[in-house]
Structure 1
C-alpha cells in the first residue's frame, strides 16, 4: 500500500513540474512573438519598403523638416528602434545630424552591443547609406559627405566601400580646389588685360595730345623769328649785324640709361608709364627731374627719375651758344622691358 502511494505521489510531482515547464516555455514564446511584431517586423517593413534607387534619388525634404526627438539619451531601446524605423521610412538614413536611422541604431548598440535588430538593420541599410553619401560627394556637399562617411565607419569600419567613398571625396575636393584656383587665375588675367587696355588707351590719348601740342609749336616756331627780324630791322641801318636770324638747335640725347623695373611691380606683373619733366643745362646734364604724371601712381616714379637723371644730352644752342632748356619725356614700363 505504501509503495503504491509513493509511486502515485512521484507521478503527481512529475506532472506538476512538467506543467510548470510548459507554462514557462509558453511565456517565453509569447514574449519573443510580441517583440517580433512590435519591433523587428515594423523595422523590416520599413527597410523593405524603400528601394535603393528611391533612397538615392529622392530628396530628403521630409528629413529637413522633421524635428529630432526631445531627449534621445533618455529614450528606451524600444523607443530608439521605433525612431530608427520611422527614420528609415522617411529616408533619413544618415541625415539630418542627430535625427537619422544610423545614429539611432548606433545608440542602441552602445547600450546593447549584441542587439540583433540594430545590427541587422545597419547591415541592410549600409549600401543605401553609402549611396546617399556618394550623392552628396557628387553634389559637392563635402562637409556633409565627410560626416556621413564617418557615421558609416562607426557602423562597419572594415567595409571596403568606405575606402572607395574616401578616395572619391578626396578626388572631388582636389578637383574643386583646382577649378576654384583656375577661376581665380582667369579672373586675375581678365582684370590685368582690362588694365592693360586702359593703360594703352590712356597712353594713346597722351600721345595724341603731345602730337597736337608739338604740331602747334612747330607751326608757331617760324613766326617767332619773323617777329624778331621785324623788330631788328628798325635799327638795321645803325646795327646791321643784328639783322641776322638767330639759329636755335634743340638738345640732343647722346647717352641714355634704361630704368630699372621695380621688383614689387615685377612680382605683381604691373605695367605702366611715367611722364618726367627735367632741365638740360648748358653742359648737357639733366637737372630738376620731376614726375608730372604717371599710371599707376607712385609705382614707377623713382625708377623713372633715377634713370633720367643719368641721361646725357648735347646742350641746346642759340646762335652757337649753349643754354638750358626744359624737356618732357615719357618712360614706358612693360613686362617686356622698361624704356
Structure 2
C-alpha cells in the first residue's frame, strides 16, 4: 500500500472515531417528552387564578353562637328578629330533644314578662302584643298569659274610651257659646253750657253802661263708669273619684308606692292630658294611676283648669 493510501485510511478511521464519540455524549431523548410547540400554534388555555381571601364569602355564623352573642350583648328580646329569645326558639324548633335550649328560654321568660308589662304601662300596644306572642311561644301554659292578655285588652279599651271622651269634650267646647266681653257703660251726655242773658239795650240818654255778663264755665263731664271686673272662676270640685286597681305583681310582692300626676280638668268636668310627674317605685303603678285619674269627674266650670294630684297604693293590713 502506498503512503497516500495509508494516509487516507488513517483519516477515515479518525473521522469514524470522532463520529462515534459524538454519538456517545448526546443524551437520549425520553420517549414521552413533550414536543416543542410551533410558533404559530394556538396557545394553551391558562388556569384561572384563585380569588383573593378577602373575596371569599364567609360562612354564616351558627345559630347557637348568634343566640349566645345576643344574650351577652343584652339583646334579650329586642330588636325583633335578632334577639336571644327568637334565636333560642329557632334552636328548640330544630332540636326539640335538646333540653338546654328550653332551659335558656325559661331563664329569659321573666325578663320578657317584665318588658311586656312595661310596654302596657307606656300604652305601646304593638310592642306589648309582640312580647306577649314571644311569651306564648316560650310557654303556652304559663299562668301569666291570661293576665297579660287581659291587661292588653283593657289598655286598648281605655285608649278607645279616651279618644271618645276627647271627641265629646271637643264637640262640647265647640258648641258652648263664647263669653261676650262686658259692654262699657254708656257715658251720660254732657250738660249744655248756659247761654249768656243779654239785656235789652236802653236808650242812649238814660241807659247806664253795664258790663256784659261773663258766661259761667261748663261743668266737667261726668266720669265714665268702668266695666265691672269679671268674677273669679271657682276651682273645680272633685265629684267622683275612682280608686285604682292594685297591680297583681305588686300585691304578690307586697310592694307599696305612690304616683304624682298633672292633668287638665276640662270645662265640662272631664279629665284629660294626664301626665306622670314622679313615681315611687318606677314602672309598677303608673298605668293604674293614669287609668284611675282619667275616670275622675269634677264640677263643670266652663274653663279648662290645670291641676295636680297623687294616687297612693297601700296594702290593706287589716286582713
Computing the radius of gyration from Cα coordinates, the structure with the larger value is 2
Say which structure is richer in helix.
1
Band the TM-score falls in, shorter-chain normalisation: 0.3 to 0.5
Give the TM-score normalised by structure 1. 0.34
